[in-house]
Amino acid sequence: MIRLATVAEMRAACDAARADGGRVGFVPTMGFFHEGHRSLMRAARAENDFVVVSVFVNPTQFGPDEDLAAYPRDLEGDAAATEAEGVDVLFLPTVDEMYRDGARTTVHVSGLTERLCGASRPGHFDGVTTVVAKLFSIVGPSRAYFGRKDAQQLAVIRRMTTDLDLPVDVVGCPLVRETDGLARSSRNVYLDADDRQAATILSGALYMASEAVVRGQRDAAAIRQLIVETVAHAPQVRLDYVEVVDAATLEPVDQLAGDTLVALAAFVGKARLIDNVTITFPAGVPTPDLGVLTASTGMQEADH
Ligand code: AMP
């Protein structure tokens, strides 16, 4: 594995891989790797000839009062993980390399970015779509891998890729959880032992909501209420939002019928955590996808 830091070097390495007939798989990240990230790398390694992982803590997707300065970093740990997963290039651009003087262009996806996390993190998704569009341009991947942990981000990236006719297959990968259900996140490191324990109420509430749907509940307000009441049992967990929305458009639904995303965000100690379950109805049967408990207990198929 090699490390590259400049746009020119990264572009040249991918040009060379493509010139040999190789297909490039790409995993954009902000680093501080856990099993969630590693599961994306494994999917990319299995399906492509040349695998690029980027680590870039993108300042434009953080609000002024958010955790940009404190965001956890472990460059050597990340390099060891990418090496172990058989990644070809670890791309580590600086902020100056990614945002050269005079840049004036923002990629904005309207509608989908205004609800859920977009409501409490204004400008966040503009930062995400702009940097991902730039990274797609630099790397030129055939396939790019994103986790369903960030379900809204995945929907927004899919929309952007379709709208801009970008020749990239956006692959959604299963949400990876700790064995007690907590969604893996680089930000879990902010939690002390009490908060860490309390945070499991979030996946527990989503599990209960999923069970209610399986038993026949279809009313979005009732599902929302069930989650709010469940999370209220953990006083140190403060919900930011709970929403029941169409999985593709992210528009609110009243009754569950098609593919539905039940998504939440909550403040726990110093962390803002997100979690979700997607419920689909193959042959009319409600089928919740809560992800996988650990990467080593078996990976589900990625959806293309
Ligand atoms: P981040 O470094 O947090 O920006 O995440 C980089 C990529 O890893 C994104 O596509 C995330 O959705 C994905 N990811 C982060 N956590 C998880 C998780 N627990 N399960 C699956 N994918 C994840």
| DSSP code string of 219-271 | BHHHHHHHHHHHHTTSTTEEEEEEEEEETTT--B-SB--SSEEEEEEEEETTE
Ligand 1 atom closest to the Cα of residue 185 is 16
Ligand 1 atom closest to the Cα of residue 177 is 19
Any atom of ligand 1 within 6 Å of the Cβ of 130: no
Any atom of ligand 1 within 6 Å of the Cβ of 146: yes
Instruction: Report pLDDT for 56.
Output: 98
pLDDT tens digits along 111-149: 999 999 999 999 999 999 999 999 999 999 999 999 999
pLDDT tens digits along 255-304: 999 999 999 999 999 999 999 999 999 999 999 999 999 744 333 334 54
The length of the chain, given as a count of residues: 304
As a whole number of angstroms, the distance between CA 157 and CA 166 comes to 11
Any atom of ligand 1 within 6 Å of the Cβ of 29: yes
Q: Which pair of tokens denotes residue 62?
A: 């953080």
Q: For residue 229, how far is its CA from the centre of ligand 1 (angstroms)?
A: 28
Kindly list the catalytic residues. 37
pLDDT tens digits along 195-242: 999 999 999 999 999 999 999 999 999 999 999 999 999 999 999 999
Any atom of ligand 1 within 6 Å of the Cβ of 42: no
Nearest to residue 266, comparing CAs of 231, 223, 226, 230? Answer: 231
H/E stretch holding 61 reads none
Among protein residues, the one with the nearest Cα to ligand 1's atom 18 is 36
**pTM for this structure?**
0.96
Phi, psi of 71 (to 5 degrees): -55, 130
- Burial environment of residue 33 by CB neighbours within 10 A (0 to 12, 13 to 18, 19 or more): buried
Instruction: Report pLDDT for 296.
Output: 41
Instruction: Report pLDDT for 102.
Output: 85
Q: Is 28 helix (H, G, I), strand (E, B) or coil?
A: strand
